[in-house]
């Protein structure tokens, strides 16, 4: 079960996977779901955490979109893909900064995931070439 293996089977890819992009696709999938989970956990805490609910839900939505774009390889949509990955990197960093304000372990884990995903998004964006 691997996103990379699936991408490798695409007829336009035929084994020549962009590793940085497939790493981002993998982490974007996890980060989107981790943020859904963290928002839900924040809603259950006794502490008032509405800024964290908000930023986690926003981050989940942007990661979800970016993660779907990152697995598509039919025709090409490189400028859209690159700019979406760049935005998503900034959104993940912004969400991490909110999670890092809180003492809960789910926030700490979510922030860590967001920071890794942000780094992957930036690397993947740089690997997607400018259109000629």
Are 70 and 124 spatial neighbours (Cβ–Cβ below 8 Å)? yes
**For its own copies, which is the closer residue by CB, 18 or 64?**
64
**For its own copies, which is the closer residue by CB, 7 or 20?**
7
- Structure token digits, residue 63: 């990661």
Applying CB under 8 A, the site for its own copies has a residue count of: 61
Among 20, 21, 24, 29, binds its own copies (CB under 8 A): 29
Among 21, 106, 111, 122, binds its own copies (CB under 8 A): 106
Count of other CB atoms within 10 angstroms of residue 61: 14
State how far Cα 3 lies from the chain centre. 14
Ramachandran quadrant class, 17 (left: phi over 0; alpha: psi -120 to 50; beta: rest): beta
Among 18, 20, 55, 96, binds its own copies (CB under 8 A): 55
Number of residues in the chain: 132
* Integer Cα distance of 106 and 45 in angstroms: 11
- Which H/E stretch holds residue 132? none
* Minimum separation from the CB atom of position 116 to its own copies (A): 8
**For its own copies, which is the closer residue by CB, 78 or 126?**
78
Check residue 107 and report its DSSP letter: H
- Report the interface residues with its own copies, using CB under 8 A: 1, 3, 5-7, 9-12, 25, 27, 29-30, 33-34, 36-38, 40-41, 43-46, 50-51, 53-55, 57-58, 61-62, 64-65, 67-69, 71-77, 79-81, 83-84, 87, 90-91, 94, 104-106, 109-110, 113, 116
């Amino acid at each position: 079960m691997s996103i990379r293996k699936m991408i490798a089977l695409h007829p336009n890819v035929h084994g020549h996977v962009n590793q940085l992009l497939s790493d981002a696709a993998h982490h974007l999938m996890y980060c989107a779901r981790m943020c859904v989970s963290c928002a839900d956990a924040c809603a259950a805490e006794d502490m008032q955490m509405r800024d964290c609910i908000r930023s986690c839900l926003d981050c989940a939505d942007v990661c979800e979109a970016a993660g779907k774009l990152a697995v598509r390889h039919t025709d090409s949509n490189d400028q859209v893909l690159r700019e979406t990955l760049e935005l998503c990197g900034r959104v993940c960093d912004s969400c991490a900064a909110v999670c890092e304000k809180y003492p809960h372990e789910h926030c700490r884990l979510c922030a860590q995931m967001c920071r890794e995903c942000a780094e992957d998004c930036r690397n993947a964006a740089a690997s997607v070439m400018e259109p000629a």
